[in-house]
Structure 1
Amino acid sequence: MSGRQHHRPMTPGDGFFEAVTDEGSDPAAVRERAELAARLLVRGAHDSADAAVAERLVHLAETEGLETLAELWAGAPVDTVAGCLWRLYLLRSWVYADPAGVAAQFEAGRSGAPVARVVAGVADPPGPDELRAMIDQVLRGIVTGDFADVLFRAAAFARVVATGRAVLAPDGPEPTGPGHDVGRVLALAEQLESAGHVELTHGLG
């Protein structure tokens, strides 16, 4: 019999997110509870193999609010589950905010980052609908796959987009808004890839 400890998956509606910020105002305590919530979400959800849990995780930023997730996890280091979750939901928010623009960037970056394109696993042609479907499928992988694979796929996708943004930038004015800065998207790609290797070797904290 396996000695692995199983956790009931934390999902939206359990009231846990309210408890994270309501139990006192000590920043260190809030940070600790927020990181615990992230670990319970990822580790517990993977144990559940429940499609409904996967869908709730995909739409977590919509049901709880991206601002709530930012308050909980935006300050967490990238080598933690909390830090990775924030970056994954931030990446999803970029795609959903401008799917046509991100699709154009991905298309422009495919030839410059061929290996990353394959790892990302985006359908061809990479239109707005395909991009939204891909990023949602990446997040479903928290439940249905391996968390390291989730991080590597998201990192590869961000790397292709950053490459495409660099290709397109000289052709017109620099776009404004989140996700358009080349350096920011490339940094996100590198952070997620590095975290994937940490997850593989000894697990993220």
Structure 2
Amino acid sequence: MSDASRDFHKPVRRSPDSFDRNFAADDPAEASRVAHATASALLSRVREAPHDEVVDRLVSFTDAHGIATIAELWSHSPARSLPGTLWRLYLLQLMIHDDAATAALLYERGRTRLASADPVIAGAPAPASPDELVALIDLILRGVFAGDFALALERASSFARVVASGATDLADDYDQTEPRRASQFTTRALRLDTYADDLNAAAGLWRREGLT
């Protein structure tokens, strides 16, 4: 057999849809379709028959599997859409789980600083321990899958707003002595404040059957 014959390989035949599978992630329209379809299917199926075991798995999903799978599905979705809302809820939960002690500090600072009803709506004890905040955010997420969805979003919104207020307050403390740390808390406060607005808007959309 000649060298040319040995080097020649027949082309590998692939299924007709392999191109679509390989490049779907680079297609914004396809990514959006998948995000909305998965979020809608997940929520409707669970809420139609909210078995405790299934809800438990969804609430503890990031503890068991991390955030990467959810990020791949929903992180690029508009903030005030169903997949974008679920993404922000899981991010909020992850922030508390990853550093519950700091979250408790920020929540307490925010609770004493805010004059609004947000601490009451969020529903945390006063003061709240790290474990109590973890339990609260898990309870709020549970309400998304097996409860009043809009109310769960409003509680999450208020929760985020209280923590954002605490982060702003703590940033002020560090402003003169540790400007870099102050900047980090300011960035966190701005992000959480945006989440609070988006989650509250999503609650209104859900009540008007407009959250898709």
For the criterion TM > 0.5, the same-fold answer is yes
What's the CA shift string for 1:57-91, capped at 9, x where partnerless? 10222344301211110110122110001000000
**Which structure: greater helix fraction?**
2
Whether the 8 Å contact between 1:148 and 1:196 is mirrored in structure 2 is yes
Which residue number in structure 2 is paired with residue 122 of structure 1? 124
CA shift, 1:143, in A, is: 2.5
For 2:86, the aligned partner's letter is L
Which residue number in structure 1 is paired with residue 48 of structure 2? 47
Which residue number in structure 2 is paired with residue 136 of structure 1? 138
Which residue number in structure 2 is paired with residue 188 of structure 1? 195
Whether the 8 Å contact between 2:121 and 2:158 is mirrored in structure 1 is yes
- Structure 1 residues 176, 99: closer, same or farther in 2, change over 3 A? farther
Gaps of 5+ in 2: 1-19
Which residue number in structure 1 is paired with residue 12 of structure 2? none
Aligned-residue sequence identity (percent) comes to 37
Which SS does the other structure have where 2:211 is aligned? coil
For 2:31, the aligned partner's letter is V
Whether the 8 Å contact between 1:113 and 1:163 is mirrored in structure 2 is no
CA shift, 1:179, in A, is: 9.4
- Structure 1 residues 35, 24: closer, same or farther in 2, change over 3 A? farther
1:72 partnered with 2:70: no
Whether the 8 Å contact between 2:170 and 2:182 is mirrored in structure 1 is no
Q: How does 1:13-162 map to 2 (within 5 A)?
A: 23-26=21-24, 27=27, 28-111=29-112, 112-162=114-164
- Structure 1 residues 169, 88: closer, same or farther in 2, change over 3 A? same
For 1:199, the aligned partner's letter is W
CA shift, 1:195, in A, is: 0.9
What's the CA shift string for 1:16-46, capped at 9, x where partnerless? xxxxxx9442222233122211111112211
Distance, in Å, in 2 between the alignment partners of 1:143 and 1:179 is 32
Q: Which has the larger radius of gyration?
A: 2
Whether the 8 Å contact between 2:167 and 2:185 is mirrored in structure 1 is no
Range moving further from structure 2, 195-204 or 89-98: 195-204
Which residue number in structure 2 is paired with residue 17 of structure 1? none
CA shift, 1:199, in A, is: 0.8
CA shift, 1:167, in A, is: 1.3
**If the length of structure 1 is used for normalisation, what is the TM-score?**
0.82
**If the length of structure 2 is used for normalisation, what is the TM-score?**
0.80
- Structure 1 residues 175, 128: closer, same or farther in 2, change over 3 A? farther
Whether the 8 Å contact between 1:50 and 1:143 is mirrored in structure 2 is no
Gaps of 5+ in 1: 1-21
Distance, in Å, in 1 between the alignment partners of 2:190 and 2:104 is 18
Aligned residues between the structures: 184
For 2:23, the aligned partner's letter is S
CA shift, 1:127, in A, is: 1.0
CA shift, 1:113, in A, is: 4.4
- Structure 1 residues 114, 178: closer, same or farther in 2, change over 3 A? closer
CA shift, 1:124, in A, is: 2.8
CA shift, 1:125, in A, is: 2.3
CA shift, 1:175, in A, is: 5.8
